[in-house]
Structure 1
Amino acid sequence: MNFELTEEQKLIQEAARDFAEREALLDVIERDEKAEYPTKHVQRMKELGFLGMTVDPKYDGGGMDSLSYVLALEELSKHDSSLAVIMSVHNSLVCWGLEHLANEDQKERFLKPLARAEKIGAFLLSEPEAGSDATHQKTTAEDMGDYYLINGIKNWITSANSADIYLVIAQTNPELKHKGINAFIVDRHSEGITLGPHENKMGMRSSDTHSVMFTNVKVPKENRIGENGFGFKFAMKCLEVGRIGIAAQALGIAEGAYMRALKYAKERKAFGTEIANHQAIAFKLADMAVKIETAKLLLYKAATLKDAHQPIALIGAMAKRYCADIAMEITTEAVQIHGGYGYVKEYHVERLFREAKLTQIYEGTSEIQKIVISRAILSDN
């Protein structure tokens, strides 16, 4: 096994680190407090090629490998995971889903402008009554002959207001249950689409999250992805890939909290010496370092296997669950090491603590990942 990054991967990692440290970090606390969308930073990500970076160049993408993508997300998330989730949804769910599962006409019309970052994508799966159990879609897509008529509500949608293209999962044939679900490419500005208010979230407050309401929204039949009834399989395949992106985000959050805790422990004095010299703190830092290194190896393996076109359902679920859980553990300990200062916004760790929690919830909760993992290891296949 080769643990060395290529020169190209190192350059991407450095570019993401420089952007995060020199630009995104400067106003991250203010944007978090105001729940303000990072317009100028999203534009900068477009210029850096971070939106559409893994799409094949024949569809106007960057053609980067999955490990490069993971490295960029990881660096961003050390300082600003709101930017990272915008990048992750656009790349892992929307671009990947279209590139690998849509037809050539759809790729030409929708994937190419997304890969060029001329348009932003959003993925609409979750509903008020369909979170972890995505088989029970209440949003309907009625077949009207040469078009579908979509009605229903989607919630917790990242980039709902800023996106141009929606990938919408909806039920066409309820009697077929999950086999009656379809996936559609929808123009966000279609007549009949309205948004709920910006969600007042615990963390990742700078990302654009809304409920989306559909009232008799007409979608051309040629905008359905795959054969009739392919929608649930489409969503699950996208989420399988998306888990790697969320794992990278969680790892970055953990690393951001750890490096701040380490710095603080070397500077803060108590009982006549830096607190890093007290075993209680030193052991916390040691545990954090081991967890981060373990998570990194698991995540990088998942990304490498994806690039090798190997199955990633199991390793992706493992990486997502482990990275998310250690992000929560490490941010909690980072706040503890900072003491009272960890409870105020100036020191960033309280924000990272709030952001870590979401990585255990979206794109498959940690509990759902355990279901995926246990089924895989208990399978006879």
Structure 2
Amino acid sequence: MISLREVGKVYPVHSSAASRIAALWAKLRGVPHAASEFRALDGISFDVRRGESTALVGVNGAGKSTLLKVIAGVAKASSGTVAIHGRVGALLELGAGFHPEYTGSENIALACALMGLSPARTREHQEAIVAFADIGAHIDQPVKHYSSGMVIRLGFAIATALTPDVLITDEVLSVGDESFQRKCIAWMENYLEQGGTLLLCSHSMYHVQKLCRQAIWIEAGRARLIGDAFEVTRQYLAWHDERTAQSRKLQPGAAAAGGGSIYQVRSMRLNDMHSEEPVLVPEGGTLVVSGSVYSPDDRIPQIAVGVVKLDGTPVAGCYSEMDGFTLHRQEPQLYTYTLTLPCLPLLPGAYVARSHAMDPEGMRMFDHVELRFDVAGVSRETGICKLEHAWS
């Protein structure tokens, strides 16, 4: 249904009115004009087959909306090819395609005419469109007086009136109220069950996971990751957590290698792996944290092991002193520990395990070392941990 190959989109950047006029004059004369450029899209390629649901995720300004405009035919690609097969229904910018001075009813008639419907067929669909939009008497008021929620209600009702072969939506569910969101989701789910093709742009990972099987992570105009919706959203959320992390990150072995007057974590491993890459733990799997602690006075130290989200949100902590565990003496001034966390109840996402060296009394905490691990799985549950539960 949708096929993109090396699609790029470039916009000229003008710093002044004189620069814009010079560019326009050069274009009218058919001569090249040197100007700065902004590359909104760069070499994007992917396919969306009939009946598939695909989401675009990424930060504001990544190029998602520009990509949707190119696919919908609103903007022309500067390079590459775009092939669309079938009728497209697109709901892009808020109020796009509406005449602000026309009433809701008049805009329905205008939109249907632009879609090629005769006046008779427009009248057939108008009642269903008005009912779906559910904006009451405002349907006979000029659109310029509508709230953003009313505009998106009417736009979605029009875009879906003829059940398009491909539906393209840009942040539709972020504007409407709760009841309208539920109505949209129900319509989309029914649309997909009947073999429709959906291309959705959203900042809600819940909606992405609920409605889409494939996701594309757009970053700086490029496709950073394409794949299963749950895997892409997991990595995207982990990247967000990493961006907002405020805690100081130390690599294994960051503590001083020799001597010292404080208790230090000398080494740390997750599931007995030495890789610098995040350790992957399946949902409900086992996490084993092990390592060694340096004791300057050769007294048996204590160890604290904690788990936090990548953004620093605490999850849980375990203390050897509280549990009555004694670290093992491997050699003079060096003690080892192993902590096993079976049946890990964490939801899919990115986490950090931290080992904190403590004095023998368990009163003071010294340096720490931390390692990242990712919990892999498919779940739309929210929060941090998975609670055992039963409905009745």
TM-score norm. by structure 1 comes to 0.22
TM-score norm. by structure 2 comes to 0.21
Higher strand share: 2
